[in-house]
Homo-oligomer: A and B are copies of this chain.
Amino acid sequence: MPEFLDLHSKTTKVLRALVETAMRRHGLHQGQDHLLAALWERDGSTPGEIAAVLHVTTPTVVKMATRMSAVGLLTRRRDEHDNRLVRLWLTDAGRALREPVEAERRSLEEKITADLTETERRHLMIALTKVYKSGSDLL
């Protein structure tokens, strides 16, 4: 078992669990906060655009959008000029979650990196970025 892959895998599981319980407090599932974030930044984006921003496939966004629409976080509406396009629009409920969810996420990040010195944190970001780059190039 290679060291880094194994450690990263374990860390991923722990972080997922933490994010899941943190977001559940706001009625969200893991990943839905990212979708909302995309709309907070650009309301009325299309599923394809969001998928690109989130590094995820279009079907994933479509499914999530369906569920989130059922819970009243956003609405679907076809583009007026191009009937192929669909645009996702935030509801008031979806907009209202911005502050609390962003705060929740910041809080979690702080707790998670609390044991790191500023130097360690910087080195971690630099090294992880390199890994991310190498990985992306291999795709």
Interface residues of A in 1-20 (CB under 8 A from B): 1-5, 7-15, 17-19
Q: A105-B1, A106-B2, A139-B17 are in contact. Are A7 and B128 (CB under 8 A)?
A: yes
State the interface size on chain A (CB cutoff 8 A): 49
Q: Does A108 contact B (CB under 8 A)?
A: yes
Taking the full assembly, how many copies of this chain does it contain? 2
Q: How far is the CB of A22 from chain B (nearest CB, A)?
A: 10
Tell me what chain A mostly uses at the interface: helix, strand, loop, or mixed.
helix
Q: Does A111 contact B (CB under 8 A)?
A: yes
The one of B5, B108, B127 that contacts A108, using a Cβ cutoff of 8 Å: B5
Contact (Cβ within 8 A) A11 B128:
yes
